[in-house]
Structure formats: C-alpha cells, structure tokens
C-alpha cells in the first residue's frame, strides 16, 4: 500500500508540473491530473448516490458491456441501459440476461430522433470487446475510423426523460464526445429538475475542439443544484 501511495504521489507531482506545458501536451497532463485526483472521488460519490436510489430509476448512457449497469441494478427499481452499437448491445443482453430490472435500449442518447453513423475504431473487428469502448457519434474523435461506421438509432433523450414522467436517481453518461451537445440541451430543458445525480465522462482530450464548450458546461454544472453534476467520471 505504501508503494502504491508513493507511486500515486510521484505521478501527481509529475502531472502537476507537466500540465503547465503549452498546447495539447499541457492539456493532456491536466486531464491526467484531474483523473488521478478526481476519479476516486467520483466513484465514491457515484456509490453514495446509488445508495439513495432504492425504488427509483437509474439510467446508464453508454452502458458498453454493463459493468456499471449491474451496479445500478443492485440498488434501483429499474435501469435503462443505452447502448447503440449492435455488437455491443447483443453482448450486453447476454451478459445481463439474469437481471430482470434492466431494460436495454439499443440506441444512442441525443437531442433529436434519427439514424446516424456510429464510428468504430479501425481495429474493432479484431477485438470488439476492447474496442467497443471507443465507438462514437463524433467523426472528429481522434481514435475512430470514419470509414468504419455502422448506422444506429438515436433517441431524443430529453423527450425520453419527459415521457418517463418520473424522477431519475442517477444518470451515468459516457458517450464518447456526444455528451457536449446533449448536456447543452439538457441543461436548458425543464426536465433536468427530475434528475438528482448526473455523472459525466468528458472527451475533450480526444476531441480538442470540444474543450471550450466542455469548460463552459463545467462552469454551468458547478452552479447547479438540480441535478448535482459530477463531470469527472472516469
């Protein structure tokens, strides 16, 4: 334990110095520092939020293979797990077939109904389990291949929440860059008052043009009390 703590302290010191480098390199180390410091806090806050979710609804946006969906389902009355990629959604159904209070929604969460390309990585076919974590609706994402895409359904997520007509205890959002337009819409929508806790992973390191908008969302989130927003999800 002492060795692990020492390594963490050394990395924190390194990232603290390197974050002052100019441009993309400094941005890279600022993100590393934030993840090192804030990820354990976000995970603890997530579990604390779920402790108060008994009998309520939770939503996993970007469920992937269901690690956090399963954790949510142990507390909530109902979990909606959004996963747009057809391969990943099929695998998710298999892995979570034993849990009756999970509903898998094979669609992406967006701001309008439609069908859009979901971009995979170039090596998706050789290792879909690992590479499925990177698939994105955002063509500008650095680690995807725009020639390797599959059309997927996109749901108007604010309207989906409106139609639920119920409070939402926890939303986890890890949607590979698409969180920015979705949060911009959600923060301006009255339905946000039904959400208690929102945990978001941001992706400005992979899509640098989202940095300014992401920072603006962080500023807005810091002023909000409903929902309570944590934008340092891992």
CATH number at residue 90: 3.40.50
Going by the DSSP 8-state scheme, the letter that residue 99 receives in this structure is: -
Among the listed residues 121, 117, 140, 139, the one whose alpha carbon sits nearest the alpha carbon of residue 129: 121
Element of type H or E holding 152: strand 149-156
Q: Does any domain span residue 15?
A: no
Q: Does any domain span residue 22?
A: no
Q: Does any domain span residue 93?
A: yes
pTM: 0.86
Q: Does any domain span residue 32?
A: no
The model's confidence at residue 15, banded by pLDDT at 50, 70 and 90, is low
- Higher per-residue pLDDT: 2 or 94: 94
Please state, in angstroms and rounded to a whole number, the distance separating the CA atoms of residues 166 and 198. Answer: 15
Cα angle: 174, vertex 114, 157; to 5 degrees: 45
Q: How many domains does the chain have?
A: 1
How high is the pLDDT of residue 3? 47
Burial 27-46 (b: 16+ CB within 10 A, else e): bebbbbbebeebeeebbebb
Q: Does any domain span residue 87?
A: yes
Cβ neighbours around 100 below 10 Å, total: 9
53 contacts 76 by C-beta, under 8 angstroms: yes
| Among 4-8, 24-28, 223-227, the least confident range | 4-8
Q: Is 169 helix (H, G, I), strand (E, B) or coil?
A: strand
How high is the pLDDT of residue 140? 94
Q: Is 172 helix (H, G, I), strand (E, B) or coil?
A: strand
Residues 106-126: what's their mean pLDDT? 96
Please state, in angstroms and rounded to a whole number, the distance separating the CA atoms of residues 57 and 44. Answer: 19
The model's confidence at residue 221, banded by pLDDT at 50, 70 and 90, is very high
Q: Does any domain span residue 24?
A: no
25 has a pLDDT exceeding 80:
no
Domain span including residue 141: 38-230
Q: Does any domain span residue 96?
A: yes
Q: Does any domain span residue 16?
A: no
Please state, in angstroms and rounded to a whole number, the distance separating the CA atoms of residues 198 and 64. Answer: 18
Please state, in angstroms and rounded to a whole number, the distance separating the CA atoms of residues 164 and 169. Answer: 13
Q: Is 170 helix (H, G, I), strand (E, B) or coil?
A: strand
Sheet holding 228-230, edge to edge: 102-105, 78-82, 57-61, 168-173, 195-200, 228-230
The model's confidence at residue 1, banded by pLDDT at 50, 70 and 90, is very low
Q: Could you give the percent of the chain with pLDDT greater than 90?
A: 78
Token pair, residue 29, equals: 């180390």
């Amino acid at each position: 334990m002492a060795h692990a703590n020492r390594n963490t302290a050394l990395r924190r010191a390194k990232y603290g110095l390197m974050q002052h480098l100019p441009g993309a390199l400094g941005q890279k180390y600022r993100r590393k520092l934030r993840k090192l410091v804030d990820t354990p806090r976000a995970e603890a806050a997530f579990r604390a939020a779920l402790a108060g979710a008994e009998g309520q609804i939770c939503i996993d946006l970007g469920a992937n293979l269901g690690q956090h969906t399963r954790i949510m389902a142990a507390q909530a009355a109902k979990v909606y797990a959004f996963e747009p990629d057809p391969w990943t959604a099929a695998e998710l159904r298999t892995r979570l077939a034993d849990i009756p209070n999970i509903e898998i929604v094979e669609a992406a969460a967006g701001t309008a109904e439609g069908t859009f390309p979901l971009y995979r990585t170039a090596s998706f076919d050789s290792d879909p389990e690992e590479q499925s974590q990177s698939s994105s609706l955002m063509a500008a994402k650095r680690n995807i291949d725009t020639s390797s895409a599959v059309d997927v359904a996109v749901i108007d997520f604010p309207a989906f929440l409106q139609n639920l007509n119920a409070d939402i205890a926890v939303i986890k959002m890890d949607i590979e860059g698409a969180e920015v337009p979705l949060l911009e819409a959600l923060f301006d929508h009255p339905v946000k008052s039904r959400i208690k806790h929102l945990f978001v992973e941001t992706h400005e390191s992979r899509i640098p043009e989202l940095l300014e908008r992401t920072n603006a969302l962080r500023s807005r989130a810091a002023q909000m009390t409903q929902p309570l927003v944590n934008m340092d999800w891992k």
